[in-house]
Amino acid sequence: VLNRTVTHCCPLPHADRSFPPPHISLHPEERVGTGTNVTICCWNKDYGAAFVLHKDGRSAPIQRLVPDDVGAVSFTLFGVTPADSGTYRCSYRPRNYSFLSSPLGDIVTLEVTPTAAPPGAELVSRGNLVVAVVRGCAAALIFGLGIFSVIDARSLWIRRDKSLGGEGI
């Protein structure tokens, strides 16, 4: 049996406590409904070459962005679902130190609640169902009348041909 050591092709960054952790904010704050776009902002004193968004419980980062001129980034989570609920943190990779990372910053907690249907949505839904059924029945009736007309016309042609002494088609 061979003992193999798994190595990574690229060393993982080491959290260096000499760099201050980044700050974080959440907008809209904490509790949102399903389908909402949520922005998580991270910033520091311009140490960062790239910010990384982490979600507790996931080993891999969620997103990575390069900061603007003031050392800030805005991560956007589009159309969140209850699966996006959780605790988020940021870290950054200082310029010129590709194998170092800041410690994880403060936490923000996002709670995504299922959005209830607006009042009256059930009545609209039933109305749409009734309209769809009526349209389906009307289409079936028109199709049936069309088939009947073709069959009736064909039988008239056959009778006409027989009365003229033809064999019929």
Greater confidence (68 vs 66) lies with 66
88 and 134, same domain (yes or no): no
Same-domain status, 44 and 83: yes
Q: Which of 113, 136, 154 is the last residue of a domain?
A: 113
pLDDT at residue 166 in the model = 59
Looking at the structure of the chain, the number of domains it has is 2
Q: Is the dihedral of CA 146, 151, 155, 161 positive or negative?
A: positive
Looking at the fold, whether 123 and 107 belong to one and the same domain comes out as no
**pLDDT of 46 higher than 60:** yes
- Which of residues 113, 143, 159 is at a domain's end? 113
Residue of 120 and 37 predicted with greater confidence: 37
What pLDDT was estimated at residue 10?
A: 41
> Are residues 92 and 46 part of one domain?
yes
Residue 80 has pLDDT above 90, yes or no: yes
115 CB contacts (<8 Å, ≥6 apart)? 33, 34, 35
**Could you tell me what percent of the chain has a pLDDT over 70?**
72
User: CB neighbours (10 Å) of residue 52?
Assistant: 24
Q: How far apart are CA 59 and CA 16, in angstroms?
A: 19
- Is the residue at 7 inside a domain? no
Mean predicted lDDT score pLDDT of the chain:
77
User: In terms of domains, do 122 and 109 share one?
Assistant: no
Q: Is the pLDDT of residue 52 over 80?
A: yes
| 142 lies in some domain | yes
Same domain, 101 and 33: yes
60 neighbors 10 (Cβ within 8 angstroms): no
Instruction: Name which of 28, 44, 47, 48 is nearest 36 in CA terms.
Output: 28
Please state, in angstroms and as integers, the Cα–Cα distance from residue 18 to each residue in 8, 55, 95, following that order: 25, 23, 14
108 within 8 A of 29, measured Cβ to Cβ: no
CATH number of the domain encompassing residue 56: 2.60.40.10
Counting Cα atoms < 13 Å in the Cβ hemisphere of 115 gives 12
Phi-psi region of 35 (alpha: psi -120 to 50; beta: other; left: phi over 0): left
Residues 64 and 104 in one domain: yes
Say what the pLDDT of residue 68 is. Answer: 73
Give the separation between CA 121 and CA 116, rounded to whole angstroms.
Answer: 10
Residue-range definition of the domain harbouring residue 82: 14-113
pTM assigned to the model: 0.59
